Structure 1
Amino acid sequence: MSQARLTHIGGPTTLIEVEGWRLLTDPTFDPPGRRYAFGWGTASRKLTGPAVGIDELPPIDAALLTHDQHADNLDDTGRAFLPTARTVITTVPGAARLGGGAVGLRPWSVHTLRTNGRPPLEIVATPCRHGPPLSSRITGDVVGFALRWPGQEHGCLWITGDSVLYDGLRQVGARFDVGTVLLHLGDVRFGVTGPLRYTMTGADGVALCSLVRPRTVVPVHYEGWSHFRQGRAGIEAAFSDRPELSWLDLGKPGTVPV
Structure 2
Amino acid sequence: MSLPRLLLDLSTDLPPTRDHPAHPSSLPTATSIKAHPTNPGSENASIFFVGTATTILEWEGVRLMTDPNFLHKGDHVHLGPGVTGTRETNPAVNLHELPRIDVVLLSHYHADHFDQDVEASLRRSLPIITTPHAKSHLAHKAGENEAFTAVHELDTFQSMMVDIKPASQEQKPNKVPAMKVTAMPGKHVPPGVLGTMNDLMKAVPPTNGWMLELGYNTDAEFSCGYRIYISGDTLMVDELEEIPERYAGQNIDLMLIHLGGTTIPSPKLPLLMVTMDAKQGLQLVQLINPDLTIPVHYDDYDVFLSPLEDFKKVMDEAGLSDKVVYLDRKDQYKFAVKSS
The TM-score with structure 1 as length reference comes to 0.91
Relative to structure 2, which stretch is displaced further, 116-125 or 140-149? Answer: 116-125
Q: Residues 34 and 201 (structure 1 numbering): CA distance in 2 closer, same or farther, change over 3 Å? A: same
Aligned to 1:166: 237
Residue 194 of structure 1 and its aligned partner are, at CA, apart by 3.6
The DSSP-based 3-state class of the residue aligned with 2:157 is coil
Runs in 1 of length 4+ with deviation above 6 angstroms? none
Of 131, 138, 152, which aligns to 1:103? Answer: 152
Of 180, 192, 211, which aligns to 1:122? Answer: 180
Aligned to 2:64: 23
The DSSP-based 3-state class of the residue aligned with 1:217 is strand
What is the 5 A alignment of 1:1-258?
1-68=42-109, 70-83=110-123, 86-99=126-139, 100-117=149-166, 118-133=176-191, 134=195, 135-136=198-199, 137-148=202-213, 149-150=215-216, 151-153=223-225, 155-176=226-247, 177-191=251-265, 194-240=270-316, 241-242=319-320, 243-258=322-337
Residue 127 of structure 1 and its aligned partner are, at CA, apart by 1.0
Note the residue ranges of structure 2 that are not aligned, 5 or more in a row: 1-41, 140-148, 167-175, 217-222
Q: What is the Cα-based RMSD across aligned positions, in Å?
A: 1.9
The DSSP-based 3-state class of the residue aligned with 1:146 is strand
Amino acid at match of 1:45: T
Residue 52 of structure 1 and its aligned partner are, at CA, apart by 1.2
The TM-score with structure 2 as length reference comes to 0.70
C-alpha separation in 1, matches of 2:290 and 2:125: 29
Contact 1:170–1:208 under 8 Å retained in 2: no
Aligned to 2:5: none
C-alpha separation in 2, matches of 1:85 and 1:49: 27
Contact 1:127–1:168 under 8 Å retained in 2: yes
Deviations 1:83-133 (A, max 9, x none): 266311111121121012311110111121113344121111111100211
Note the residue ranges of structure 1 that are not aligned, 5 or more in a row: none
C-alpha separation in 1, matches of 2:93 and 2:240: 30
Q: Residues 120 and 188 (structure 1 numbering): CA distance in 2 closer, same or farther, change over 3 Å? A: same
Contact 1:146–1:159 under 8 Å retained in 2: yes
Amino acid at match of 2:203: I
Contact 1:63–1:85 under 8 Å retained in 2: no
Contact 1:12–1:26 under 8 Å retained in 2: yes
Q: How many residues align?
A: 256
Q: Residues 2 and 145 (structure 1 numbering): CA distance in 2 closer, same or farther, change over 3 Å? A: same
Residue 26 of structure 1 and its aligned partner are, at CA, apart by 0.6
The DSSP-based 3-state class of the residue aligned with 1:140 is coil
Q: Residues 183 and 2 (structure 1 numbering): CA distance in 2 closer, same or farther, change over 3 Å? A: same
